[in-house]
Amino acid sequence: MKLLATPVVEPLTRAPLRRRLQWETWLLLALTLGQSGVYAVLRIIERMTRPEPLSTQTSVLNTSATPDRPWLDLLYQVANAAFLVVPALMAVFLLVTVLPPATGRRSMGLDGDRPPFDIGWGFAIAACIGVPGLAFYLFAKAIGINTTVAAANLADNWWTIPMLVIAAFANAIVEEVVMVGYLFVRWAQAGWSMLLVLGVSALVRGSYHLYQGWGGFIGNVVMGIAFGLFFLKTKRVWPLVIAHGLIDVVAFVGYALVAPHVSWL
């Protein structure tokens, strides 16, 4: 397959530098999403060894830190979102320190050269992934391989919906910049085949969603493969950030608005 035969960037020729880049990627993952993956594996083990079935358990996201003090809760939520994007900034910084700045950003499609393309494809991908993703979540829950995901549990304040939108795009930025833009470029420089990069990136993405259950793992591995193939074709990470952000906005805000009125969520 031609997509998988062509690296995102040319591999570096010096073996010591290639080894350094591999260590760099594993260390960054160990501090960020890879660490989340390890804890999620432990979480699914804990869930699977409970007496109650997985399908009766709940995964709670976006919780209030101090619901009795809204002003302090807002500061907590802003801090969480701000620190969440730091690994993405670190990934961009690491790329730029080896490659010339313009090349570093453009190698992962983080420049601002193609806004209509990025926005249009972002909405299209969100529609193509989001609707089947919701259907698969309901199917996985129905057959007992997934928990109930309570996607929004902030106290009811004037800032709740805006904060859920910010959290959605913070998650999108860190996941797509690190898992796709950064890793695909770095591992290509380190001489990995694109097939291996695609598979490992998708599996890591799935691993840190294991806390939701096996449905969350499978769904996110499939999403990782689809996003990775899109990146290999276009070399643009912005559409993936936009798509992921929109999917999470619908999940977070939709849950906050709809869950109090329906039982099947």
pTM here is: 0.94
What was the pLDDT predicted at 16?
87
Dihedral in degrees, nearest 10, Cα atoms 66, 67, 69, 70: 110
Q: If residue 107 lies in a helix (H) or strand (E), which one and from where to where?
A: none
pLDDT by residue, tens only, the chain of 265 residues: 677 877 888 888 888 888 999 999 999 999 999 999 999 999 999 999 999 999 999 999 999 999 999 999 999 999 999 999 999 999 999 988 876 655 666 778 888 889 999 999 999 999 999 999 999 999 999 999 999 999 999 999 999 999 999 999 999 999 999 999 999 999 999 999 999 999 999 999 999 999 999 999 999 999 999 999 999 999 999 999 999 999 999 999 999 988 777 665 6
What was the pLDDT predicted at 60?
95
Spatial distance between the Cα atoms of 85 and 159, rounded to a whole number of angstroms: 20
Q: For residues 55 and 146, is the Cβ–Cβ distance under 8 A?
A: yes
What was the pLDDT predicted at 99?
67
CA 251, distance to chain mean position in Å, is 14
